[in-house]
Amino acid sequence: MIDSNENESILDDKIKEGEALRFISFTDEKKKIIYHCSRDYTTSFQNPEEKVRASYFVELLRDYNYPKERIDFEVLVPRRTPEDRADIVVFEDNELKKPYIVIECKRDGISDAEYKQAIEQAFGNANSLRSRFAAVIAGITRTAFDVAGFNPGEREKNVISDIPKKYGKTPKYRFIKGNKDTELRVVPKDDLIKTLEKVHDTVWQGGKLAPTTAFDEVSKLLFCKLQDEKESTITKKGDAYKFQIGTHEESKEVFDRINDIYKKAKQKDAEVFKEDIKLEASIVYSVVEHLQSINFSKTDLDTKGIAFERFMEDFFKGKMGQYFTPREIIRFCVLMINPQTDKLLLDPACGSGGFLLNSMDFVREYAQKEYEDKIEAYRVWHDFAKDNIYGIEINDQIARVCKMNMIIHDDGHSNIISTDTLQEMDKIQKIHKGFKKNNFDLILTNPPFGATVKLSEKPYLESYHLGKKKKMQKTEILFIERCLEFLKPGTGTMAIVLPDGILTNSSLQYVRDFIMQNTQILAIVSLPQFTFSHFGAGVQSSLLFLRKKDFDESLRNYPIFVAIAKHIGYDATGRKDPLNDLNRIYEEYQLFLSDPKNYQGC
């Protein structure tokens, strides 16, 4: 995880720069801030809006080259009832008589409704002060307007890409690909999470759309954003990015340009998104406002991955009740399985892709450590992501989320399919030829618990050894057999989460017999009762690590590594726990592997 001190926001960075340049200073242990503008203006620094205002003041001086002597704060606005004051005003003259830009600052993360109110406040102040331009700043989200050239009620045609630099011309576009001064910005984790939340709230519209539909639409727009950043066929170096709002562009113009990106990308990869963008132009316009300044493709993969994962967890858990495997459990399983660059890896119940993405990250970290040449390291782990990672997810919308998650992580989505993992194998192969019996080196999975496959609904139940002569069978039991079918004989290994009932119930002895007949049990790790409760499930579970036996292989009385985890890095409420037995268990397992017969345990 990224520590908070490593995740200072863009606002914090600018404020530090402003302090170093002596544009601002602080008193009383940063309880008060002093702006060195046309006067030394002192105010409290306790309000979240003040951080936004301080950061933007630094930008006005450092990036836009406005003289501090022509900037004032809390400027009284005439003819406003009740009495109102403008947050920042940039003047054209040294006497501070001719307002040029009126700026309204709001805390980061405000709602779209609050943002619209801020726009009205800015316009009211700008019109009363007879300012030429107005701007609303709310963290990363910002909008600037040409006030003087349009009627007082206009709010779209008079949008400009950015305020002019030092009384110059308004730029047609703010962000230019490959231009150092106008390039997109890399953002830290917390800023990215806040932005994704704002985007989702904009699209969800307070419940107007179904949660899954809203997430689909967010994913489509993120997909367009990434395409615009990465594909030279869409935006070449030196050209303005397509995913932004230009001066005097209306929402339909912006929508048409984004939709054009989407349609072209969809033709290349029709499996990622099959449907058109369903959002109104005004909603797409607002999303572009939130996202346009961020550089997704160059944001650190760990930061990007954690932010998107947190966003997905909060959304699916809060609005859909979708089940997630905790990160700590995933990381432990990946460590135990130890993916290598030449191994084929599968999750037949991949959900949003947790096991697959963490395996990809594991190989990426290995490649970056082992290869001095960065280009070679990238090729090694990227080829693994593209060619060696496979996943199946029964829910089509969740499968698209998984693909989007992998695209965010720099690819690996090409071998993700949406279908029923338990159906006849030839039907799966018709969708993708790579899903073959006896084909995979590694499987990591957390199959769905508790659901039942009925013979009357799924005739394929009879084709399973564990389904013969049964009218119904639990999905997690059938998943054991299907996983073993996928694994290579003799060497294929898997990590699987299973309910403890499979290991303990007397009625399920036949399942345990099947496991022992067909596998070598490498390890069993018992998890605490609360492991999955915070993530939507409360079944007591264990992790089984198995190796598929070779044809005609026979094993007798071999040692099995067994451990009990009481602490797993978080508690029953989901809060971080400094204790994590999984780390020690992994270390002990390595000792066990070095000499299984003589291992004494701890």
State both tokens at 352.
């949003």
Number of Cβ within a 10 Å radius of residue 306: 18
* Residue ranges of domains in the chain, CATH in brackets: 4-171 (3.90.1570.30), 178-322 (no CATH), 323-598 (3.40.50.150)
Q: How deeply is 232 buried, as exposed, middle or buried, from its count of CB atoms within 10 A (0-12, 13-18, 19+)? A: exposed
| pLDDT at 525 exceeding the cut of 80 | yes
The pLDDT value recorded for residue 534 is 57
Average pLDDT, integer, range 172-190: 89
Helix axis angle, 396-408 relative to 301-315, nearest 10°?
Answer: 160
Q: Which of 392, 448, 454, 453 is nearest to 420 (CA)?
A: 392
Sign of CA dihedral 385, 388, 393, 396: positive
What are the tens digits of pLDDT across the range 258-309? 999 999 888 877 667 778 999 999 999 999 999 999 998 888 777 777 777 7
Query: Are 544 and 484 contacting, i.e. CB atoms less than 8 angstroms apart?
Result: no
What are the tens digits of pLDDT across the range 65-116? 999 999 999 999 987 666 789 999 999 999 999 999 999 999 988 988 999 9
Strands 141-146 and 133-138, by their bridges, are antiparallel
What are the tens digits of pLDDT across the range 209-237? 877 788 888 888 988 998 899 887 788 99
State both tokens at 525.
């790790």
pLDDT confidence band for 313 (50 / 70 / 90): low
**Segments in 21-157 forming alpha helices (H):** 48-62, 112-129
Q: How deeply is 387 buried, as exposed, middle or buried, from its count of CB atoms within 10 A (0-12, 13-18, 19+)? A: middle
Residue 211 is classified by DSSP as H
- Tell me how far apart the alpha carbons of residues 25 and 253 are, in angstroms, rounded to a whole number: 43
Query: Are 529 and 539 contacting, i.e. CB atoms less than 8 angstroms apart?
Result: no
pLDDT confidence band for 584 (50 / 70 / 90): very high
* Mean of the per-residue pLDDT values of the chain: 90
Residue 316 is classified by DSSP as I
Q: Which residues contact 176 (CB under 8 A, 6 or more apart)?
A: 182, 183, 238, 239, 240, 241
C-alpha angle 457-459-460 in degrees, rounded to nearest 5: 125
- Tell me how far apart the alpha carbons of residues 2 and 303 are, in angstroms, rounded to a whole number: 8
Which of 31-40, 74-83, 181-190, 351-360 has the largest mean confidence?
31-40
What is the SS3 assignment for 326?
coil
Query: What's this model's pTM, rounded to 2 decimal places?
Result: 0.78
- Tell me how far apart the alpha carbons of residues 133 and 550 are, in angstroms, rounded to a whole number: 75
